[in-house]
Amino acid sequence: MLENYLVRKNVSIRLKITVKSLVSLGVVALAVLLPQLVHLIAGQAGGVQWLPMYLPVLLGGCLLGWAWGLGVGVLSPLVSFAVTSAWGDPMPALARLPFMMAELAVFALVSGLFSKKIAENGWMAFPAVLLAAVSGRAFFLLLAVIFQNVAPFTPALIFSQILEGLLALVLQAVIVPFIVMGIRALMQRKSS
């Protein structure tokens, strides 16, 4: 979506990269800070229940497209782990980190594949987010099945966590598209 706006504005490649880098940085920062806020308010279990890192990653995919979104999806849990490790309480936990990086990469990749369609029709953000959420969670469950002998969690545990976070995914499937449509409306107003 952002790419379409920048093309319409006829900006240079250097400015496109700068803008996308800044938006990506903002999304990753939000993906690090939002979980900290949720954990502060709702405790450690709040992360599994409210999935705070997923919202910025879904937003990043819709706005930035699949390639930049993929970068945001991979970097968000990695940066969060690095920053929170410095404080002595890494989030996500090291054992969960590669799984979460893969899951959020799928979230951002799938939502990002809809980016051009969202630029044409803001309502496309709804199927983008819904399909991304289902794909990402299913991929995480598949990874848990494949690596159950070496991972510290079982497919049953991951499935129970998916069920526990279902309300959050439903809320995000509504909230994120409305945020995206609001940003789209602002960009269209600036274009005219």
Share of the chain above pLDDT 70, in %: 99
Q: Provide the pLDDT for residue 192.
A: 66
Q: Residue type at 151?
A: A
Are 20 and 68 a contacting pair, CB within 8 Å?
yes
- Domain ranges for the chain, please list them: 2-191
Residues in the chain, pLDDT under 70:
192
Rounded CA gap, 37 and 46, in Å? Answer: 10
Rounded distance, CA 5 to CA 146, Å?
41
Predicted local distance difference test score (pLDDT) of residue 190: 80
52 φ, ψ (degrees, to nearest 5): -65, -25
**Quick count: other Cβ atoms within 10 Å of Cβ 158?**
22
Q: How far is Cα 123 from Cα 146, in angstroms, rounded to an integer? A: 35
Q: Which of 49, 140, 63, 126 is nearest to 96 (CA)?
A: 140
Length of the chain: 192
Distance of alpha carbon 77 from alpha carbon 106, whole angstroms? 13
- DSSP E strands in 61-162: the ranges are none
| Fold (topology level) of 2-191 | Arp2/3 complex 21 kDa subunit ARPC3 (1.10.1760)
pLDDT in tens, 38-92: 999 998 889 999 999 999 999 999 999 999 999 999 999 999 999 999 988 899 9
pTM over the 0.85 mark: yes
The contacts of residue 109 (CB under 8 Å, 6+ apart) are 61, 66, 69, 70, 73, 132
Cα separation, 79 vs 61, in Å, equals 17
